[in-house]
């Protein structure tokens, strides 16, 4: 099916996803939210919080499991991630944005049926209560944004059958960007503690300033890119192929300094 023509709303939309290392550092989070609040125009924030969830899980005797950067979520772990993502982190971020006069509102995918998912069905791995996004309620999101609301999404969706599902925050940002690219001119930024995608994970000066699919495949084969960066970049290339205009990965300073070094994603 060909994309719908972008006739409903010609305005730009910035979708920003922040990672756990920013969330876990109060100073970095405050600086990021200050930068985010100064972005002109329409915007959406998506946050993870995996490190906080891992710490909480370990404190109550649970052993977190990850496969290729994705969390295995049994019933007990689901309780933890809902509590941390949709509760503690989401509401703290919303409160801090309100202090910057940004009229933010926190959401899970279940709120307003904004993001509907299905429980992942993998042929060899039981991911537990993990969701794969199926539908984004663009009509309600467009209404919220038109009324000056800045949505703040945590990494929880639902299946519309009463089940909450842990859903990769990078994927949520990507799926929001794809769906809303039918309505807005979308820029997607992934912000984390590094200045971009690195040739050497231990060397912050080794930023890959432009990465396309060919180079990505090569770096994956060489194991230079691995773990959580794989789903992030997979989502980036998927987004670009489905209508998202521009994607960058880097430190949150790139939000206020257009000359800041970061990684631009290209098809």
Q: Which two tokens stand for residue 179?
A: 């769906």
- Pairing type for strands 150-153 and 65-67 reads unpaired
- Residue 189: is its pLDDT beyond 70? yes
Query: How confident is the model at residue 10, as a pLDDT?
Result: 64
Q: Which residue has the higher pLDDT, 198 or 7?
A: 198
Query: How confident is the model at residue 7, as a pLDDT?
Result: 46
Residue 89 placed within a domain: yes
Q: Which of 173, 178, 190, 180 is nearest to 249 (CA)?
A: 190
Average pLDDT over residues 199-223: 92
Q: Are 21 and 192 in contact (CB under 8 A)?
A: yes
Average pLDDT over residues 138-144: 97
- Residue 2: is its pLDDT beyond 50? no
Q: Which two tokens stand for residue 164?
A: 């909450």
Residue 4 placed within a domain: no
Average pLDDT over residues 117-135: 95
The whole-model pTM stands at 0.92
Residue 199 placed within a domain: yes
pLDDT (tens digit per residue) in 61-98? 999 888 876 789 999 999 999 999 999 999 999 999 99
The rounded distance, in Å, linking the Cα atoms of 194 and 81 is 24
What residue spans of 227-267 are helical by DSSP H?
229-241
Residue 140 placed within a domain: yes
Residue 137 placed within a domain: yes
Residue 58 placed within a domain: yes
- Residue 107: is its pLDDT beyond 70? yes
Mark the binding-site residues, compressed into ranges: 49-50, 71, 166
Q: Total structural domains in the chain?
A: 1
Residue 2 placed within a domain: no
Average pLDDT over residues 213-241: 90
Q: What is the CATH number of the domain that holds 203?
A: 3.40.1160.10
The rounded distance, in Å, linking the Cα atoms of 134 and 152 is 19
Q: Any bridge partners for residue 71, and if so which?
A: 66
Mark the binding-site residues for substrate, compressed into ranges: 49-50, 71, 166
Average pLDDT over residues 109-132: 96
Average pLDDT score over the chain: 92
Query: How confident is the model at residue 11, as a pLDDT?
Result: 87
Instruction: Give residue 180's domain range.
Output: 12-265
Residue 193 placed within a domain: yes
């Amino acid at each position: 099916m060909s994309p719908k023509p972008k006739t409903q709303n010609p305005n730009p939309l910035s979708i920003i996803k922040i990672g756990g290392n920013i969330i876990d550092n109060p100073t970095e989070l405050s600086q990021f939210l200050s930068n985010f609040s100064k972005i002109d125009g329409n915007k959406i924030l998506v946050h993870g919080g995996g490190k906080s969830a891992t710490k909480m899980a370990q404190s109550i005797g649970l052993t977190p499991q990850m496969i290729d950067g994705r969390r295995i979520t049994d019933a007990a772990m689901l309780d933890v991630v809902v509590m941390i993502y949709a509760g503690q982190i989401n509401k703290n971020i919303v409160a801090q944005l309100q202090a910057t006069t940004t009229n933010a509102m926190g959401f899970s995918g279940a709120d307003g049926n904004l993001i509907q998912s299905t429980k992942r069905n993998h042929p060899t791995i039981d991911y537990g209560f993990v969701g794969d996004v199926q539908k984004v309620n663009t009509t309600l999101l467009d209404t919220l944004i038109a009324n000056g609301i800045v949505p703040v999404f945590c990494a929880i969706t639902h299946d519309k059958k009463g089940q909450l599902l842990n859903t990769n925050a990078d994927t949520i940002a990507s799926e929001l960007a794809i769906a809303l690219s039918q309505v807005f001119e979308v820029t997607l930024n992934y912000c984390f503690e590094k200045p971009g995608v690195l040739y050497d994970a231990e060397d912050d000066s080794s930023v890959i300033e432009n990465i396309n699919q060919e180079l990505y495949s090569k770096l994956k084969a060489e194991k230079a890119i691995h773990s959580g960066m794989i789903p992030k970049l997979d989502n980036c290339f998927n987004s670009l192929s489905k209508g998202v205009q521009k994607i960058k990965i880097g430190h949150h300073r790139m939000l206020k300094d257009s000359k800041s070094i970061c990684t631009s994603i290209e098809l």
